[in-house]
Amino acid sequence: MPRQLVPVFHQKVFVPTLTRIAFVLLFLGNHSSSQAHLTDKLEPIRVNKCCEKFEVLLDSSCTHVNETHSEPLQPVFTNENGQGNIQVNYKFVIGKPACSAKQSWPIYHYPGSSDELVLLEDGKLRHYTQNPASAMMDTDLETDKKPIYYDHVQGQYCLEIGYSTTGDNKRFMFAMVCSPEKVVRWTDTDFLLRKIINPIFHGISIVILLIVAIIYFILPTLRDLIGNIITTITICLIVSQAADLVRIFTEFSSHVSFLVADTILYVSLLAAFFWLNSFGYYIWKTFRSRNVFLRVTDGRKYCWYSGYAWGMTFMMAGLAVFAHFFLDSDSYRKNYIIENQETIGWLGIAIFFTPIACSIIIDIFFYVTTLKLINRRNVYGRIQHKLKSNFIMYSLILIIMSVAWLFFILSWLRFDALLYVHMFINAIQAPLILYVCVIRQKHVTFLLKKSCCYNEPPSNNDWGDELHYMNDGDF
């Protein structure tokens, strides 16, 4: 009998217990889901606004609504099905998008424009590249063709209502967005040229320029004033090539490193042209002097030219950086929405490149006047032959660097052809400098053969390579 009572007792107690536990779990599950749904409803959707809450965009400038007699931004939310005026609890987040190293650009949405901005109910900004309404009105287009769009997540855009004092569209919707992640295809010609071939050319140029610098630095006979100037110019060009190589991969660097790479590139280019200007001044002054005497090493003159070249370089670089941070960027970016990436501004670039243009003009003056002095002379000695050889080398380097600098500036224009031409000119710049400074100079190749114990000349070389080649015209 006790064995029969125990199961009956457990059956009476255990069945209602399971029912109660299931009911409690079901109640807790419904309660937690309702709480989560309520939390989602209470959590406001963040909407990134470009200007302050009491400001609107007037001609690319944030302006108080009282000055424009207009209303601030009132966001209109739309669901995925295209239904508008969705009631959403939202809050404004003031500030520009955090694009980091990505490019940012403005989008304007007004009646009849090819761009349309739609604010989704989850806070994303959808950008249609072609207005669906205008596309539906075009009978030539296929009706089943879906419009192309891209969704910008929160923090990658800012939205604002804008007004214009000029033009036909007085009122428009404005957005500053970050560039979307581009799908990279290895078969794309533009990608191959920009991201693969161009960096390879930069690496080859660095190696070639390094060879020229090592040759003029190691060989004792070439370590005169001209040789030291050539070495310094090639080192400056090596630094500029390395900095430009960093600028190619913008997506792998922050805006700070991109700014530093820009600064190093412009400073090294500026220094190279100031040293080239010193080279031309030395040739011009030596030809004008009556007492011409060349020394193998002239450290004092090199120090004088160093003071001029580096002093002017760092002075102009300091002015350019000061103008970028205190004159160009702050005053412009405080009031205006449309801005460039965190790179050297146009005012800083002008301060960097205006001295380069002036130095090229001065170098042309040195070239013309020195050429007149050379044409007036009928008799040349050993020193004059070497000076004439240095003058030809200076002239060719001036042409090479000036053309490369000119196409570097032209590559900033919105034409891919100019960028490709700049890549080609930059690729052949270092080989041309190698040809002008080493291969074309027969006494340099002679010294290389002598130093490498290859094809040693006869024993009369004990008098020196200059005396051996005095009457051979190798300079």
Please write the tens of the pLDDT for every residue from 276-306. 999 999 999 888 876 655 554 467 888 899 9
Q: How are beta strands 116-120 and 77-78 bridged, if at all?
A: parallel
Question: Token digits for 230?
Answer: 């050539």
Correct CATH for 189-440 of 3.40.50.720, 3.40.30.10, 1.10.530.10, 1.20.1070.10: 1.20.1070.10
Spatial separation of the C-alpha atoms in residues 203 and 275, rounded to whole Å: 23
Residue corresponding to tokens 């080239």 = 276
Spatial separation of the C-alpha atoms in residues 231 and 217, rounded to whole Å: 7
Residue corresponding to tokens 């610098």 = 213
Spatial separation of the C-alpha atoms in residues 389 and 475, rounded to whole Å: 5
Residues 117 and 126 sit within 8 Å (Cβ to Cβ): yes
In this predicted structure, what is the pLDDT of residue 133? 46
Domain boundaries of the chain, sorted by first residue? 46-178, 189-440
How confident is residue 101, by pLDDT bands cut at 50, 70 and 90? low
In this predicted structure, what is the pLDDT of residue 289? 77
Query: Whose CA is closest to 278, among 289, 286, 288?
Result: 286
Cross-strand bridge partners of residue 93: 48
3-state secondary structure of 223: coil
Laid out side by side, the sheet with 125-128 consists of 77-78, 116-120, 125-128, 149-152
In Å, how far are 133, 193, 355 from 411, measured between CA atoms?
38, 14, 20
DSSP class per residue in 73-98: ----EE-TTS---B---EEEEES---
Question: Token digits for 364?
Answer: 């042309």
In this predicted structure, what is the pLDDT of residue 466? 47
Overall CATH class of domain 46-178: mainly beta
Please write the tens of the pLDDT for every residue from 183-197. 666 777 888 888 889
Query: Whose CA is closest to 200, among 426, 419, 417?
Result: 426
Which pTM value belongs to this model?
A: 0.67
Please write the tens of the pLDDT for every residue from 27-57. 555 544 444 444 445 578 888 888 888 888 8
Query: Whose CA is closest to 412, among 340, 460, 470, 305?
Result: 340
In this predicted structure, what is the pLDDT of residue 74? 85
How confident is residue 242, by pLDDT bands cut at 50, 70 and 90? very high
How confident is residue 18, by pLDDT bands cut at 50, 70 and 90? low
Share of the chain above pLDDT 90, in %: 30
